[in-house]
Amino acid sequence: MELGLHLGGRLHGRTPSSPLAFRQRSKARLQADELLLAGAEPDGSLVAERAAQLTSPRTRTALAGSIDATVRELEGRVVPSAVPLNRAGARPQVELLRTLAARLRAPEPVTPRGVLLVEKLLTDGLTSPLYNRNRTADLEPTLLRCASALEPRDRVAA
């Protein structure tokens, strides 16, 4: 499947730093993310580069660290962040959050789509049930969907 995301540069690394180049890279990254969320398979284009970036140990460790920080905040061990957590909804899900962080740290492969879902859970302050108190009932299913989406198809089938 040809995805056509060749915008004259890479998603990261040494590329021109002009505003136009930055906008092109940002647009390409968003397009790649949308395709990966829709289930596209990396095909040698910028989608493949973005998939590698998302599933890298560095990204996985950073996301796991963000989950750990969220758990520490829920447990009252750190000063609350600028974006208020949905504490009432998230406290009962602490073990599921820990499981998600552990899976990200595990050496087994994960899918780019799963990583994107975790990233969205942690960074979307408006709609993520981790922050939005009106979506408390959605938090456990969202965490379970993230955990399931991290698993490659061949692992799920096994």
Q: Could you tell me the pTM of the whole model?
A: 0.81
147, 97 contact by CB (below 8 A): no
155 pLDDT more than 60: no
Task: Report the sign of the C-alpha dihedral through residues 74, 72, 109, 26, in that order.
Answer: positive
d(CA 49, CA 153) in angstroms, rounded, equals 20
122, 130 contact by CB (below 8 A): yes
Structure tokens at 153: 């198809």
d(CA 90, CA 128) in angstroms, rounded, equals 11
Q: Report which of 44, 1, 45, 7 is spatially closest to residue 23, judged by C-alpha positions.
A: 7
Domain-wise residue ranges, the chain: 19-52, 55-157
Average pLDDT of the chain is: 85
Give the pLDDT mean for 88-92: 94
Q: Report which of 145, 123, 128 is spatially closest to residue 63, judged by C-alpha positions.
A: 123
111 pLDDT more than 70: yes
